[in-house]
A and B are shown apart, each in its own frame.
Chain A
Amino acid sequence: MNVASVSPWQRLWGGYVRWSTRYPALASLVPFVPVVALWAAVAQSGLFPPVFFPGPLVVIEKFGTLMANGILPAYLEDSVVRLAVGTAMGLSIGIPIGLLVGLSDRAHRALWPVLLFFQAIGDIAWLPILLIWFGFGLVTMTFVIVYTVLFPVVLNTVLGVRSVPLELHRAALSLGASKARVMWEVVVPGALPNIMTGLRNGLGFGWRALIAAEIIVGTSGIGFLMFDARRAGSVVEILLGMIVLGVLWYVVDSWVLAPIERATGERWGLVTR
C-alpha cells in the first residue's frame, strides 16, 4: 500500500476549486482562457489572412468602437427588448393553455394533436408567409418569437400539470380548498419546475429565432449587425456578434433562470441538480 502524495497537478486543481468557490466569477471566466488562447494562437500563426480570421485583440478593439459610438448598446437593447416582449407574451398565452390541456382530458384530446402539428412547423418556416402578411417589421419578428417560445412552454406545462400526484389534489380538497384554490395552491407550484424547463427551452429557441428573424427581416439588432457586417465583409463584427450572443445567453442563464430554479424546484426537492 502506498501512501498517496499530492501531485503538483492536484495541488493546482485544489487551488482552482478553492478560489473559484470563493469567487464564482472565476469559475465562469477561467474555462474560456484556453479557448481564447487557441483563437489568438491560430490568428497569430498566419495560417489564414487576418481579414478572414482576426484575432481577439482586433475584436475587442471593435467592441470598444461600437460601444463608444452607441451602435452596439442600441442594437443590443433592440434585440433584448424584442426577446423579452415576445417571451412575456409567449408565457402569458402558453401557461394558461398548458394548465387547461394538462387538467382537462377533453381539452387534451381535442388540442394535443393540433399542438404537436404546429410545433413541428418550425419558427423559420413561418417567415415566408409572415413576410407576405405583415411585411418586414416588428409584427413579423414578434410573431416568430412568441410562436417559438409558446410551444416548449405549453408542452412542458402540460407535463408538469400531469406530474402533480393525484394525492396532492385530494389532500388540498379535503383540507377545504376550492377547485380554484387547488389550481393556485397545488397545480401551479407543482408544475413550476416543468414550466421553468419550458421557459429555458423557449428562451433558447426564441433567441436563435430572433437572430434568424433579424437577419432576414431586421433593421436593427444583433442579428442585423452580423448580417450587415457580411455585406461589408467585416469578419470582425461577425465574430463580435457571435461572442455577444454567447455572453448574453450566459448572463440570462446565470442571473435569471438558475436563481429561480434554485429558489423553487431544487429547494423543494422536486428536481435533482
Chain B
Amino acid sequence: MKSLTIEHLQKTYFDPFAAKQVTAIRDISLTVDAGDFVSVVGPSGCGKTTMLNLIAGFLAPTGGEIRVDGRAVSGPGPDRGVVFQSFALFPWRTVLDNVAFGPKMRGVPKAKRHEIAREYLALAGLAHAAERYPNELSGGMQQRVGVVRALANEPDVLLMDEPFASVDAQTRMTLQEELTRIWAQRRPTVLFITHDVNEAVFLANRVIVLSQGAVLDDISIDLPRPRSWDALIEDARFKALAGRVLQQVRAA
C-alpha cells in the first residue's frame, strides 16, 4: 500500500534581484509505503527542506504531483503531520493543550482530547509535564512534545524536518532511540529529513540521497530492530551502510 506518492515534482523560484529562475527541485519521483520509515539526506541546498515544505503544502510545486493516500495535496492539512526543527510549540498553551490541539481542531470534546493527549504524552515519558508551559521544558523535552503532538492527530504521513538538529548530542541519541521505539509501537509512515548520515541510517528502513534537486540514490537499510546506539555504533553492517551513504552525500 502506497501512502505517499510523488511524481515528477518540480519547484523553481523567481529571484527578483538576479532576475532569473532558480531551480530548487529539478525532478523527484518517490513512493513511500504505509508504515515505512524513510530518511532523506543530502548536502545543504540539495532541496530536501523544499521537498518537505512542498509535501506539507506550505509551498506550491511548479510541476508534478504529490498524493497522500490517493488524494492530491493542495495545501497544509491534518493528513500530514509536521515536526519542526524549531519545535514550533504554542508558548501560550500547556504541554497537554499543545498535544490536544489537533484533536481540538477536529472537534473532539475536551475530556476525550485530553485523554488522547495524556496517552501520547505517556508514550514519550512526559506524563509528568502535562500541565507545564513549553518554555519551562528543556529542548529535548520540547521536541518530544513536538513529536507526540503531530502523532496524536494520527496523520497518514509524519514529516520530520531535521527535528533533532537543535538539541545536544547526548539528548539527540536518546531521542533517536525513543523515536525508533515509538515508531515500532505505532507504525506511522515517516519521512525524515536530515543532513546527518548516521541519524538517517540509524532510524530508517530506506535512505534517499538527494542532490541538486533530484534523487541520487535509494538505499535499503536492512538492520535489525529494535535498534540502539550501544549495539550499532561498532556494528560492521551499520558502518558499511553509513559509509556508503556518506560517500553518496559527499559526491552529491
What is A's interface to B at a CB cutoff of 8 Å?
165, 167-168, 170-178, 181, 185-186, 189-190, 192, 264, 267-270
Contact = CB atoms under 8 A, between A and B. Distances in A.
A264 B92 contact: yes
B21 to A, nearest CB: 22
Contact of B153 (A170, A176, A181, A268): A176
B84 A170 contact: yes
B77 A176 contact: yes
9 contacts: A168-B88, A170-B76, A171-B84, A174-B78, A174-B80, A175-B105, A176-B106, A176-B153, A268-B134
A175 B153 contact: yes
Nearest to A186: B90
B92 A176 contact: no
A168 B84 CA distance: 10
B81 interface: yes
Contacts of B213: none
Contacts of B135: 268-269
Interface centre among A168, A170, A171, A268 (most CB of B within 10 A): A171
A137 to B, nearest CB: 42
Nearest to B107: A176
Interface residues of B, number: 28
Nearest to B133: A268
Contacts of A173: 57-58, 75-77
Task: Please classify the interface of chain A as helix (H, G, I), strand (E, B), loop, or mixed, using the class held by over half of its residues.
Answer: helix
Given A171-B84, A175-B153, A268-B92, 11 more contacts: A167-B86, A170-B82, A174-B150, A175-B102, A175-B150, A185-B90, A189-B90, A268-B91, A268-B133, A268-B135, A269-B91
A190 to B, nearest CB: 8
B78 A176 contact: yes
Contacts of B106: 176
Contacts of B101: 172, 175, 177, 185
B242 interface: no
A185 B100 CA distance: 13
B48 to A, nearest CB: 17
B249 interface: no
B92 A189 contact: yes
A264 B106 CA distance: 26
B149 interface: yes
B153 A270 contact: no
Interface in B62-116: 75-78, 80-82, 84, 86, 88-92, 101-102, 105-106
Contacts of B190: none
A174 B82 contact: yes
Given A176-B153, A181-B105, A267 B133 contact: yes
A249 to B, nearest CB: 28
Contacts of A165: 86, 88
B77 A174 contact: yes
B191 interface: no
Interface string B135-156: 1100000000000011001000
A84 B77 CA distance: 43
B86 to A, nearest CB: 5
B81 A175 contact: yes
Contact of A174 (B57, B89, B136): B57
A172 B91 CA distance: 13
A186 B105 CA distance: 13
